Structure 1
Amino acid sequence: MAKRRAESDLPRTVEEFDRWYAQRPERWEFIAGVPVMMVPGANNRTIIKGNVFRPLASRLAGKPCRPLGDGPEVKSHQLSAIPVVVTCSPVEGRAGHITDPAVIVEMLSPSSERDDTGRKWQGYCLIPSLRHYLAVAQDKRFVTVHTRTGPDSFEERFYLGGTIDLPAIGAQLSLDEIYEGVTFEAEPADD
């Protein structure tokens, strides 16, 4: 029988998590003070991630803001996560994190939706530089966008179609672009 790891062995702060994570071969995030191992994503997630990154990279070429599609960690209170980000500050090439994202995009899955729209969002909204947070469903056409309206406030909008305006970075994304090439499972028929 496997022994359960003592809770005192697990990191409780972002700093402890960084040291703990450096000793792990797997990818982990730290959400609301709890380490969570990242599992490989579904193909829809990978397609959507590319569909978000490509148009942002094209539209922001030659401008001060730059999208980063995979790899940099975003850290906040009790949070270390690996979303798609857009930063408008110079990028330190050797660093593995972004301290001032302007846009954060998370691809939702059934296993991560509660964290991405709840506990992660609670950490992200504390980042002063954050202007837009997009939570993109991968099992249907549905995007939730939080846009900062003041130092301590955000407006939430839901998109089933159309175009999402991201004025903080001077770009737009259409749902047709986001979901290009994505196939959804058929809904069960009502009897």
Structure 2
Amino acid sequence: MVAVRKSGFLGMTVAEFLDWNGDGTDTRYELVNGEPRAMAPASATHAYLQVALARLIEGHLIDRGSPCRAATEAPVVPGLSSNVNLRVPDLAVTCAPDDPDARLLPDPVLIVEILSPGNERETRSNLWAYASIPSVQEILFVQSTRVGAELHRRCNGDWPTEPIIIGPDDELVLASIGYRVPLIQVYARTKLVRQPD
């Protein structure tokens, strides 16, 4: 059941959203202040980056025997306005015990979003939602049109006003999971670094 707000817009809770069957299409949605928001289809480069990051990060976690796990497109709920907000990041890492009945990713420590030209503004607007989750230590935005990233890292409980900018020649350091990799390696199988045949 969807409640009607005083403004006249339909409002939905997280619980209602999780039970919602969608609009009958293959469109993916997030819940933003009680309103389902369509997520733009990903470009091929976006998809390659998502797979590369998942492979690299999950491989690292397995190699070090970490209890943490990486998940793609797993729903997370912000710490603020949590009854009417749910986001679906491209990748997230949790160190919470596995619960096969869980519908949400519990206690993410790292959230990764890949920025695409068609939805960069909406994706960036999720920063506040992710930063409000008490367990989140790092939020990574990865570019899909050039080699580059921005890392927001919680320090002593606070979020700095400016992100760490990571360029093509820099190393990506994810302190939340003890991982470091040359950023260029994340892009290795994309057209952004591949040389023509």
Question: What TM-score comes out, normalization by structure 1 length?
Answer: 0.82
Deviation digits for residues 18-57 of structure 1, max 9, x if unmatched? 34x3454432012354421123211001100011011111
Match of 1:114 in 2: 121
Asked if structure 1 preserves the Cα contact closer than 8 Å seen for 2:58 and 2:69, the reply is yes
Structure with greater strand share of residues:
1
Deviation at 1:123, TM superposition (A): 0.7
CA 1:23–1:52: 2 relative to 1, 3 Å: closer
Deviation at 1:125, TM superposition (A): 0.4
Asked if structure 2 preserves the Cα contact closer than 8 Å seen for 1:31 and 1:120, the reply is no
Match of 2:142 in 1: 136
Unaligned runs of 5+ in 2: 1-6, 193-197
Match status 1:27 vs 2:54 = no
Unaligned runs of 5+ in 1: 1-6, 185-191
Deviation at 1:12, TM superposition (A): 5.1
CA 1:38–1:152: 2 relative to 1, 3 Å: same
Separation in 2, partners of 1:73, 1:108 = 18
Separation in 2, partners of 1:56, 1:167 = 12
Question: What TM-score comes out, normalization by structure 2 length?
Answer: 0.80
Match of 1:189 in 2: none
CA 1:157–1:37: 2 relative to 1, 3 Å: same
Q: How many residues align?
A: 176
Separation in 1, partners of 2:189, 2:149 = 16
Bigger Cα displacement from structure 2, 61-70 vs 150-159 = 150-159
Bigger Cα displacement from structure 2, 88-97 vs 104-113 = 88-97
Match of 2:174 in 1: 166
Match of 2:51 in 1: 50
Deviation at 1:9, TM superposition (A): 5.0
Separation in 2, partners of 1:15, 1:94 = 14
Deviation at 1:115, TM superposition (A): 1.7
Asked if structure 2 preserves the Cα contact closer than 8 Å seen for 1:32 and 1:120, the reply is no
CA 1:69–1:183: 2 relative to 1, 3 Å: same
CA 1:10–1:17: 2 relative to 1, 3 Å: farther
Match of 1:66 in 2: 69
Separation in 2, partners of 1:9, 1:92 = 35
Separation in 1, partners of 2:94, 2:153 = 15
Match of 1:187 in 2: none
Match of 1:179 in 2: 187
Describe the SS at the equivalent of 2:185.
helix
CA 1:164–1:12: 2 relative to 1, 3 Å: same
Counterpart residue identity of residue 154, structure 2 = R
Aligned-pair Cα RMSD in Å = 2.2
